[in-house]
Amino acid sequence: MEPNKKHKERPEEMSPERRDKLLITQVLEALARSIDAKDKYTNGHSERVAIYSRMIARKLGFSAEEQEDIYYMGLLHDIGKIGVPHDLISKTSGLTDEEYSVMKSHPIVGYDILSEISSMPELAMAARWHHEYFNGKGYPDGIAGDDIPFFVRIIAVADSYDAMASNRSYRQYLPQDVIRAEIEKNSGTQFDPVVAKAMIDIIDADTTYSLHE
């Protein structure tokens, strides 16, 4: 996995602006870990999604500042799972229709939590729309194509990639070629083709298959 840039500078050597930025990053990473800790099979998911999202953004030529913003959005994309009962998140068998409906509420819960952050409204958008499909068949709003902000389309691919490349209660992480085929198959339907192509390029460059849990 691409190593997250850990912070080797000593606080007293940093500018005030750098210290503030470091504090924000570390607080958001800690919050992401607390969200994922609800279940051992989602542990680390948000940080991996953030890292993969940043990798895709870099591949697509986003600026360093934009890559950092997308990293933050990835960290908090699943914050709405705070409102999902633990027994649903950790359930090893299939969900009932009612349980699935509760699980599908987490994007709206996340949006409600983050919508008061006026300085970065993209955080709330990423939380609300990361399960939308490029063809409009996702949830919760059924928006499609360019109506889904591009940075959300990046997070959607990163989120799906990590879901397949992580261990679950019912299976081990999937082989790399299976994941690649799934992303390619769903390009243009679930995924933005441009973002899917960037993820496939990243997969192809990962010859040792290091990008998994």
The single residue listed with the structure tokens 């298959």 is 209
Report the largest interatomic distance among the alpha carbons of the chain, rounded to a whole angstrom. Answer: 54
Residue in 101, 94, 96 with CA at minimum distance from that of residue 169: 94
**Residue 137 catalytic?**
no
- Rounded Cα distance between 89 and 43, Å, is 12
Tokens matching residue 20: 């503030």
Q: Is 113:127 a contact under the CB 8 Å cutoff?
A: yes
CA separation, residue 95 to residues 40, 100, 102, 149 (Å): 18, 6, 10, 30
Of 81, 91, 104, 197, the catalytic one is 81
Residue in 131, 147, 148 with CA at minimum distance from that of residue 139: 131
The total number of residues shown for the chain amounts to 213
CA separation, residue 187 to residues 32, 148, 183, 192, 210 (Å): 28, 15, 6, 6, 23
Active site residues: 81
